[in-house]
Amino acid sequence: MIEVRGGAFKYGERTVFASIDLDIFAGEVLTILGPNGCGKSTLLRCIGGALRLAEGTVRMGNDDLSTLDPGARARRIGFLFQDHTPTFPFTVLDVTVMGRTPHMSIFGMPSPRDTALAEEALDTVGIRHLKNRPYTELSGGERQLVLLSRTLAQQPDVILLDEPTSHLDMRNQVLCLKTIGALAALGRPMIMTTHDPNHAFLYPGRVALMKPDGSLLTGPASDVITDATLSMIYGTDIGVFSVARRAGPGEFKFCSPWQ
Amino acid sequence: MRRSVVVAMIAAPLALLYASLFVGRFTVAPAEVARILWSNVYPIAHDWPASVETIVMQIRLPRAVLAMFVGAGLAASGSAYQGMFRNPLVSPDILGVTAASAFGAAVALLLSRNALELQVVAFTFGLAGVFFTYLLARVYRATPVLMLVLSGVIVAAFFSALLSGAKYVADPESKLPAITYWLLGSLNAASTRSLAMALPPIIAGSAGLMFLRWQLNVLAMGDDEARSLGVRTEALKAGVIVCTTLITAASVSVCGIVGWVGLVIPHLGRMLVGPDHRALLPMSFCIGATYLLFIDDVARTATVGEIPLGILTALIGAPFFAYLLRKTRGTWQ
């Protein structure tokens, strides 16, 4: 659905990444993995159109995404930023309805239909009971789910998530990843960044590992995430381990630095 | 918003407007005020002295209407800026419009220009001041909020220094008091002509803000998020700045510096209807109108002389908001 060809980005003289090719297919969760500051958020922003590639193209169907105006782009690409607390206590419903903005004119106001779509999105994510709560008083995990609802109300073709689990405890990480996986299974692909390789094992999908030289190693999680690749990109000795699943057949993998 | 809230929000300033026409050192009976107003719409027999009609129609009505629109415009501007800057401490003068307008007015007073010329000069300086701020804040085809605030501080400091310079060279017998009193703010020079000068920019700016109030909600979540939701953030910010600058420059040019309204009325609005700008902007507009009209009524009736507005807005407002602040323990809810 999305094709990145020959993508390169520079901050001034510093090359963040170069000659990147990446495809995203319908219904998948693609995890972009790499250490802090490696440029995975920059890549995500380039795909989402928040930043412009120095070289190369991002195409979606027949369109070059960099040529779309902001409204048209927002109707096709949803973007979840890292968790932050806004200044004003908007209600959860107000925040969710904001997802309908790209479907309105600049002077437009949400219609009853927009509100209905927002409530539907809250149902899909399972947080309708939070509807009238102030967004600022929710936990980090709940806020992340509200933003996910907002992005669903936006009805984009693809959803990009920047470190959706970064400030969450383990329970909320699982809840958030589960919801992301379930939503992707409905057909809308999700691309997310994370600095924790274990997230890719929790909900297996494809992984794009960002190497220190700014190139990508792409493939299924169990192929790409190995002792060697992790130790290389994180610059410390890391092991990947397998244990029998507590429930059901097969093995469960996880990784941890050696001590 | 509940219907009762909407009715109260609109009825309060209108009721106070009517009351403002018969309150004053020269008392006019409420029924007579009603007949005078009616006679301007529909020809009926005039059974009141012409001087009474002059007081009501030529002096009190323009002054009250001007107070309402200045208060309403400043409160709406403050709400819009607080949303755009994502900071509840912001007031409409954050980009230097007040300081620049005040210097313009001081120059006009130094040169002994008439009231009309003073308004034009003060208004023009206000617009120019904010234009400098905007240029200064622009980096890489964007105007980050932090750059805007810092640029505003710089421009305001510069024009404040110029204003001090103007005061320093002013004749201490005649010009200096004129400048000082003018800066304290007053509506006693209000006339139908100053109304005609100030109302169009205030109404245009307020209407613009009302149209943009949904987008302001989205902008309050942050520039990045707003852009990802299809908002043209730079155009929106420029639009909001133009609207609030029109309002504030027009207000300052016609009645001096009226502080406090744009800073605090938005908090009162948020207590009543929450932070959603769809409700907050109209609510702030109406509360601002009521508040400044009330303050101006006190200013012209409390003592034999006039009390400057800038003194009263804070003298009456500060204790009231101190009470609210303590009662809500800083949450304004």
| DSSP single-letter state for residue B24 | S
Please tell me the predicted confidence (pLDDT) of residue B127.
96
pLDDT 10s digits, B46-104: 888 888 888 888 889 999 999 999 999 999 999 999 999 998 889 999 999 999 999 99
Across the interface, which of B88, B211, B232 has its CB nearest the CB of A70? B232
When CB atoms are compared, the residue of A74, A90, A104 closest to B276 is A90
Q: State the pLDDT at residue A6.
A: 87
B86 to chain A, any CB pair closer than 8 A? The answer is: yes
DSSP bridge partners of A31:
A192, A207
Residues A139/A61, Cβ–Cβ less than 8 Å: no
Closest CB to A99 among B86, B229, B231: B229
Mind listing the domains of chain B with CATH numbers?
Answer: 3-328 (1.10.3470.10)
Chain A hits for B212, CB-CB cut-off 8 Å, are: 106-107
Instruction: Give me the residues paired with residue A158 across strands.
Output: A77
Instruction: Please tell me if residue A108 touches chain B, with a CB cutoff of 8 Å.
Output: yes
Instruction: Report long-range pairs for B109-114 (Cβ below 8 Å, ≥24 apart).
Output: B109/B170, B109/B175, B109/B178, B109/B179, B109/B182, B110/B166, B110/B169, B110/B170, B110/B175, B110/B179, B112/B175
Q: What is the pLDDT at residue A31?
A: 92
Which of the four pLDDT bands, split at 50, 70 and 90, describes residue A64? confident
Which residues 230-269 of B have a C-beta within 8 angstroms of A?
A: 230-232, 236
What one-character-per-residue DSSP string does chain A give?
A: -EEEEEEEEEETTEEEEEEEEEEE-TT-EEEEE--TTSSHHHHHHHHHTSS--SEEEEEETTEEGGGS-HHHHHHHEEEEPPP---SS--BHHHHHHGGGGGGS-TT----HHHHHHHHHHHHHHT-GGGTTSBGGGS-HHHHHHHHHHHHHHH--SEEEESSTTTT--HHHHHHHHHHHHHHHHTT--EEEEES-THHHHHS--EEEEEPTTS-EEEEEHHHH--HHHHHHHHTS-EEEEEEE-SSSSSEEEEEEE--
pLDDT digits 0-9 by tens, B195-245:
999 999 999 999 999 999 999 999 999 988 999 999 999 999 999 999 999
> What mean pLDDT, rounded, does chain B reach?
91
Q: Which residue(s) pair with A242 in the sheet?
A: A253
User: What global pTM score does this model have?
Assistant: 0.90
Whole-number pLDDT of residue B333: 57
A46 in Cβ contact with A18 (< 8 Å): no
Q: Residues of A with CB below 8 A from B227's CB? A: 50, 70
Give the chain B residue whose CA is nearest to the CA of A104: B230
Selection from A204-218, B62-76, B303-317 with the highest mean pLDDT: B62-76
- Taking contacts as CB-CB distances below 8 angstroms, the residues of chain A near B232 are 70, 106
Helices B192-211, B61-84: inter-axial angle, 10-degree rounding: 30
- Do residues B115 and B286 lie in contact, with contact meaning Cβ atoms separated by under 8 Å? no
CA distance B140 to chain A (A): 13
Position A181, amino acid: G
Q: Return the residue of B nearest to A93 by Cα.
A: B276
% of chain B exceeding 90 in pLDDT: 61
Flag whether pLDDT at A230 surpasses 70.
yes
| Mean pLDDT along residues A199-220 | 86
Q: What percent of chain B has pLDDT over 70?
A: 98
Amino acid (one-letter) located at B151: S
Q: What is the pLDDT at residue B109? A: 92
Average pLDDT over every residue of A150-155: 93
B262 Cβ contact partners less than 8 Å away, ≥ 6 residues apart: B74, B75, B77, B78, B81, B91, B92, B93, B248, B288
- Min Cα distance A156 → chain B (Å) is 10
Residue A47: pLDDT over 80:
yes
d(CA B248, CA B190): 16
pLDDT of residue A26: 84
Distance CA B313, CA B261 (A): 7
State the CATH number of the domain containing residue A84.
3.40.50.300
The answer, yes or no, to whether residue A97 has pLDDT greater than 80, is yes
Q: What is the pLDDT of residues A99-131, one digit of tens each?
A: 999 999 888 899 999 999 999 999 988 899 999
What pLDDT was estimated at residue B82?
A: 95
Question: Does the beta carbon of A154 lie under 8 angstroms from any beta carbon of chain B?
Answer: yes
Whether residue B332 has pLDDT greater than 70: no
Task: Tell me the average pLDDT across A177-187.
Answer: 85
Out of B228, B236, B276, the one facing A48 most closely (by C-beta) is B228
pLDDT at B52: 87
Asked if A71 reaches chain B (Cβ–Cβ under 8 Å), the answer is yes
**CA distance to A94, A99, A120, A125, A154, per residue, from A114 (Å):** 11, 9, 10, 17, 10
R_g (Cα) of chain A, nearest Å: 19
Mean pLDDT of the B38-49 span: 85
What does residue B228 show for φ and ψ, rounded to 5 degrees? -70, -15
Domain count, chain A: 1
- Domain that residue A220 falls in: 2-257
